[in-house]
A and B are shown apart, each in its own frame.
Chain A
């Protein structure tokens, strides 16, 4: 069991560029969550999917952030026109439907 896989582990973009982050959930898990982690705000919920369907995107900044789950083996988080305040660690988690969410190692996004 490789756990939740996130790629890339580190990404540096220039202000205004696009960033796409990838998440591969644990095989057999039905729900995928995205969170953002910063020192100031801690861990913030962004969005989640269950059985590939979007369930709750209440934490997503509406204008530049989008997420998709085209199949059960991966999800993407896309940030358009990145801004310095988007710099954070983006964490993906998956669960089979129980309470425990298994987190990936995260993607550290740095916007210059």
Chain B
């Protein structure tokens, strides 16, 4: 079945250093991939999505590239900010772009001064 794997439960780094959160997936078809971010005591919000326009999705300095050959959709940012501290979920929708989301277990990013 469809699944998403996020290997890091917790990533701690110093402000200004680059961020990379790993996401790999398994799916029978060609799914759409997403990154959601959840700040403490808030609802998850969409950060990025992979779509078919061949453009690398970017938002708030974050970007991610869908690599179908390696089934990966890693999240990257060149310079971490304190406000980036949050829980990050990678997710896929296996049936086009209007169905249920299947989430990874999430990675908590802690950015320290």
Interface residues of A (CB under 8 A from B): 3-4, 31, 33, 35, 41-45, 48, 50, 55-56, 59, 91, 95, 97-101, 103-106
Measured CA separation A103–B45 after assembly (Å): 7
* Inter-subunit contact A43/B89 (CB<8 Å): yes
Interface string of B83-95 (1 = CB under 8 A from A): 0000001010100
B99 contacts the other chain (CB 8 A): yes
B20 proximal to A (CB < 8 A): no
The smallest C-beta distance from B101 to any residue of chain A, in angstroms, reads 6
Among residues of A, the one whose C-beta sits closest to the C-beta of B6 is A42
Task: Tell me the B85-113 residues at the A interface (CB within 8 Å).
Answer: 89, 91, 93, 97-106
8 nearest A-B pairs in the assembled complex, by CB-CB distance: A99-B97, A43-B103, A103-B43, A42-B105, A45-B100, A100-B46, A103-B44, A42-B106
Q: Let me know if A104 and B43 touch, CB within 8 A.
A: yes
Q: Which of A33, A99, A105, A106 has the most CB atoms of chain B within a 10 A radius of its CB? A: A99
Secondary structure of the B side of the interface?
loop
- The residues of B that contact A50 with a CB separation of less than 8 Å are 98
User: A43 to chain B: which residues have CB within 8 Å?
Assistant: 44, 89, 91, 101, 103, 106
Partner of A45, one of B43, B45, B49, B101: B101
User: Which residues from chain B contact A41 at a C-beta distance below 8 Å?
Assistant: 105
Q: Tell me, rounded to whole Å, the shortest Cβ–Cβ distance linking B90 to chain A.
A: 10
Bound complex: CA A33 to CA B93 (Å): 13
- Please pick, from A48, A55, A100, A105, the residue contacting B43 in the complex, using a CB distance under 8 A: A105
Q: How far is the CB of B89 from chain A (nearest CB, A)?
A: 6
Give chain A residues whose Cβ lies under 8 Å from the Cβ of B44.
43, 91, 103
State the Cβ distance, B104 to closest chain A Cβ, in Å: 7
Residue of A whose beta carbon sits closest to that of B91? A43
Q: List 17 A-B contacts (CB under 8 A).
A: A4-B43, A31-B98, A35-B103, A42-B105, A43-B44, A43-B91, A44-B103, A48-B99, A50-B98, A56-B100, A59-B100, A99-B34, A99-B51, A99-B93, A103-B43, A103-B44, A105-B42
B101 touches A33 (CB 8 A): yes
